[in-house]
Chains A and B, each alone.
Chain A
Amino acid sequence: MTNEFHDVFTVGIGGAAGDGVREAGQSLGTLLSDLGFEVYISFTYPSLIRGGHNFSRISFSKEKVWCDHGKLDVLIALDEQTIILHKDELNPDAVVLADSFEADDISRLGANAVVVPMSSSSKVLEAPPITRNSVALGATCYLLDLHFPQMQDVLRQVFRERRLEVNIRLADIGFEHMQKLNFRHSRNLTPGQHTKDLVDGNMAFGKGLEAAGLNFYIAYPMTPATGILHYLALKQKDSGVRVIQPESELTVINMALGVAYAGKRVAIGSATGGFALMQEALSFSGIAEIPLVVAISQRQGPATGVPTYSSQSDLRMVIHSGHGEFPRIVIAPGDADESFTAGVDALNLAWRYQMPVLVLLDKLLSEHSVTMQIPTGVPIDRGLMAENVSEQYGRFAITGDGISPMAFPGTSNAVVKTTSYEHDENGITAEEALPVKAMIDKRFVKTETLLKELDRRETIKVYGDKESKNVIVFWGSTKGAMLEAAKYFTKPVKLVQILWVEPFDSKRVTEELKGAERIINVECNHDGQMASLLREKTGIVVTQSILKYDSRPLEPMELAAQINSIING
């Protein structure tokens, strides 16, 4: 089965780390989205700075592309290793562009092995080797009949002053080379109607935070969450957000608690390993009801694990994170659109309910780029503020819905006391049984209030044939592979995505699953963590699980084949 049926076209660009593989992929992706295509870009790389093998895969179509496609229609090889590693992924009519070919590759590929003078052109212009991917981009424009002047505009955006002229010249050389050969790919490509932004999940999440009035972002670098830090750091001058990168994750979260105590909206982010270091302070945000947003991007663990590859193995760790018992919200978006929404919702909910809100991302979601429409004019909820503060103000006043009015230091008459100890309504240490229990009950009343919130929120999403008795359950970035695979299912299937993992929307999930004859759970971990959570929260036992835990993403065509064999079995 090829991906031809749904007209998804895939270009792969491979080279060593330092060859500009990611940047070339982004440039091509930007051009395609500017032309109105829907685009999905994956980027695969080992944890090193130079050498190794980096690979960008740009899948595009006139309809939404949910995920990476495994089969390639064009392969741009910036080094010989790229051909060796990817020659088995080529569609039958695939075209390969390279500086040179081995004899047996030429005999296999025939006329579709196209020599493009990438390195030699860079050398002639005395430009550094990395510029050779501009030759490749020019050649690709001719090959795919893409509007070349618009490619030049994209390059102008990318390079601005730095080596702009030479990159434009090299793109010309690539384009003219293919023009002389008069070589075009046999498939015709039609773009969609609308141009969109090309963003990865980290950037979308950062944009969501900004839209919801973020004041501070604090983080220590750790793949795959670092993109949020980079994005917001660059935006500081425009948006007024302030970004701090302190000495450790412990500092990150404790500093953030200080920021929120003083009344400013703050988010922090890390991979789950970094989040593991933050546990004691997360628990502090729980007991002291400090509004805090934490982005946690999963990668393959345990420990340092496989740092630049993907996983969904931290669901259980995150919903149970922090010692002691305290309410929290955990949202697991499945794509860039949902990451944006999660950024907005997380900040608003943290301030409305005065509790930690955790957003569970992963490497695929964080680092893969996709076309999306960035929403504007999102609502900002600043939470319940104390009015007409008197000397009797108590930061932890017991109220009917568990939410105490907030005042911040600097408010006349108010003494604002916050503490990691259990405390009374005024924030003074409490160790007697009655006030201890009263304050725990007060915090958990907020969970009751929050359960009403669930009815107003998209806690789950249902796709496909809503009447089908074959149901697939999934969460997080598995959405991409699943919805792409669903284009190729041979029988109607109902698809249920779980977005809110804490509090778990048992009512709605049960409604969607109760009539099913077969429930297939799909997730990227060893233990089947969602299957066990589902059983814990609803009593529903899945019929079977498809689990992938080799740190590599689900491939939609393979997944479609697996599911077809189950539903037809």
Chain B
Amino acid sequence: MAINLTTTSKITWCPGCPNSQILVSLRQVLQTMVAENKLRIEDVVMSAGIGCHGKITDYINMNSFTGLHGRVIPAMTGIKCANPKLTVIGSCGDGDAFSEGLEHLVHAARRNSDIKVFVHDNQLFALTTGQASSRSPKGFKGKSTPFGSIEEPFDPILTMLSVGATFVARTYAGDMKGTERVIRAAIEHKGFSFVDIIQPCITFFDTRDFLKERMYWIDEKESTGDLKKAIEIVTSVTDKIPLGIFLNTTKVTFEEQLHNL
């Protein structure tokens, strides 16, 4: 019997928001894994930060921990340390993963904490009605940058590869099959998983047409075990946006070492 992961909460994302696609993909992966006896749903904790993405925990009927803006990653590590049997997954926004609290992402990756981070990356602050985030392109015009952002955008994939993340991937919310495959691989990975989910904000920064021409899936046979190759893939293209699992390697986790002193 399929588990019911829906709640009675009214969904307040804008109609057509790709956040809903991420929610459906995530529910689908969990339902499938539970049906295949790969997971018990009570042993999974879904986490979120604060931003549009953070509403996801109200819309999914399972254990959840909705943290503070920018601070959910340490809590996820805390949950995993306290009970290593739990599968700890979570969503962040680009505001609360890359702007506020970037250090937590970097250090969680460095220590290979066995948690799975899915960033709903819409390249701006949406819930606060449209300001530039550290992911907005240079020249981005928002309410706080009416004459165009003067900052270079942050590169999450290259950063995650360089600080020791053992699973690094990017997907596109609109490609739900692709997203389900990547999320499932991230959950199945033992160690720190990072997935950047491109999620255009259809209200404040609709990049769907721009992205369609530039996104492509990489050939993962060439990349997943080799850090140098992964870095080469993500740095060799400047006008295109590669999707896929760039790195998937194994290393002892923080929590395993903590409990095996």
Shortest beta-carbon distance from A405 to chain B in Å = 16
Rounded to whole angstroms, the CA-CA distance of A244 and B58 in the bound complex is: 31
Knowing A284-B68, A409-B43, A429-B58 are in contact, say whether A257-B78 is a contact too (CB < 8 A).
Answer: yes
B74 near A264: Cβ-Cβ < 8 Å: no
- The residues of A that contact B55 with a CB separation of less than 8 Å are 429
User: What mask results when residues 23 to 66 of chain B are scored 1 for a CB within 8 Å of chain A, else 0?
Assistant: 00000000000000000001111000010000101100111111
Tell me which of A24-32, A328-336, A416-424, A499-507 binds B: A416-424
Tell me which of B79-87, B122-130, B195-203 binds A: B79-87
A215 contacts the other chain (CB 8 A)? yes
Which residues of A415-453 are within 8 A (CB) of B?
A: 415-421, 427-429
A154 contacts the other chain (CB 8 A)? no
- The residues of A that contact B80 with a CB separation of less than 8 Å are 258
B75 contacts the other chain (CB 8 A)? yes
Rounded to whole angstroms, the CA-CA distance of A244 and B78 in the bound complex is: 10
A255 near B68: Cβ-Cβ < 8 Å: no
B74 near A255: Cβ-Cβ < 8 Å: yes
- The residues of B that contact A413 with a CB separation of less than 8 Å are 42
Rounded to whole angstroms, the CA-CA distance of A154 and B41 in the bound complex is: 56
Rounded to whole angstroms, the CA-CA distance of A444 and B53 in the bound complex is: 31
A281 contacts the other chain (CB 8 A)? yes
A410 near B43: Cβ-Cβ < 8 Å: yes
Shortest beta-carbon distance from A278 to chain B in Å = 10
Identify B63's interface contact among A215, A264, A280, A416, CB under 8 A: A416
Knowing A409-B83, A415-B61 are in contact, say whether A261-B42 is a contact too (CB < 8 A).
Answer: no
B66 near A254: Cβ-Cβ < 8 Å: no
- The residues of B that contact A410 with a CB separation of less than 8 Å are 42-43, 83, 85-86
A284 near B86: Cβ-Cβ < 8 Å: no
A248 near B103: Cβ-Cβ < 8 Å: yes
Rounded to whole angstroms, the CA-CA distance of A266 and B44 in the bound complex is: 21
- The residues of B that contact A129 with a CB separation of less than 8 Å are none
Rounded to whole angstroms, the CA-CA distance of A207 and B61 in the bound complex is: 41
A280 near B78: Cβ-Cβ < 8 Å: no
- The residues of A that contact B68 with a CB separation of less than 8 Å are 254, 280-281, 284, 420
A189 contacts the other chain (CB 8 A)? no
A255 near B78: Cβ-Cβ < 8 Å: yes
Rounded to whole angstroms, the CA-CA distance of A421 and B58 in the bound complex is: 11
A247 contacts the other chain (CB 8 A)? yes
A409 near B66: Cβ-Cβ < 8 Å: no
Rounded to whole angstroms, the CA-CA distance of A244 and B108 in the bound complex is: 13
A230 contacts the other chain (CB 8 A)? no
B74 near A250: Cβ-Cβ < 8 Å: yes
Identify B65's interface contact among A256, A412, A418, CB under 8 A: A418
Identify B74's interface contact among A236, A242, A258, CB under 8 A: A258
A251 contacts the other chain (CB 8 A)? yes
User: What mask results when residues 145 to 168 of chain B are scored 1 for a CB within 8 Å of chain A, else 0?
Assistant: 000000000000000000000000
A566 contacts the other chain (CB 8 A)? no
A175 contacts the other chain (CB 8 A)? no
User: What mask results when residues 82 to 107 of chain B are scored 1 for a CB within 8 Å of chain A, else 0?
Assistant: 11011000000000000001011001
Knowing A247-B107, A415-B62 are in contact, say whether A408-B75 is a contact too (CB < 8 A).
Answer: no
Shortest beta-carbon distance from B237 to chain A in Å = 32
- The residues of A that contact B76 with a CB separation of less than 8 Å are 258
A146 contacts the other chain (CB 8 A)? no
Rounded to whole angstroms, the CA-CA distance of A408 and B86 in the bound complex is: 11
- The residues of A that contact B44 with a CB separation of less than 8 Å are 409
Identify A242's interface contact among B7, B85, B258, CB under 8 A: B258
- The residues of A that contact B72 with a CB separation of less than 8 Å are 254
Shortest beta-carbon distance from A203 to chain B in Å = 21
B86 near A215: Cβ-Cβ < 8 Å: no
Shortest beta-carbon distance from A521 to chain B in Å = 38
Rounded to whole angstroms, the CA-CA distance of A264 and B84 in the bound complex is: 12
Knowing A415-B62, A428-B9 are in contact, say whether A251-B83 is a contact too (CB < 8 A).
Answer: no
- The residues of B that contact A257 with a CB separation of less than 8 Å are 67, 75, 78
Q: List 25 A-B contacts (CB under 8 A).
A: A216-B81, A216-B82, A218-B78, A247-B103, A247-B104, A250-B74, A251-B103, A251-B107, A255-B77, A258-B79, A258-B80, A258-B81, A259-B82, A262-B78, A408-B83, A410-B43, A410-B83, A415-B63, A416-B64, A417-B65, A418-B64, A418-B65, A418-B66, A419-B66, A420-B66
Give residues in B with beta carbon < 8 Å to A. Answer: 7, 9, 42-45, 50, 55, 57-58, 61-68, 71-72, 74-83, 85-86, 101, 103-104, 107, 258-259, 261
Q: Which 7 A-B pairs have the closest CB atoms?
A: A258-B78, A258-B75, A262-B82, A419-B66, A255-B78, A254-B74, A264-B82
Apart from the given pairs A255-B77, A281-B68, A417-B64, 4 other A-B contacts in the complex at a CB distance below 8 Å: A254-B75, A255-B75, A258-B81, A420-B68
Give residues in A with beta carbon < 8 Å to B. Answer: 215-216, 218, 236-237, 242, 244, 246-248, 250-252, 254-264, 266, 280-281, 284, 408-421, 427-429
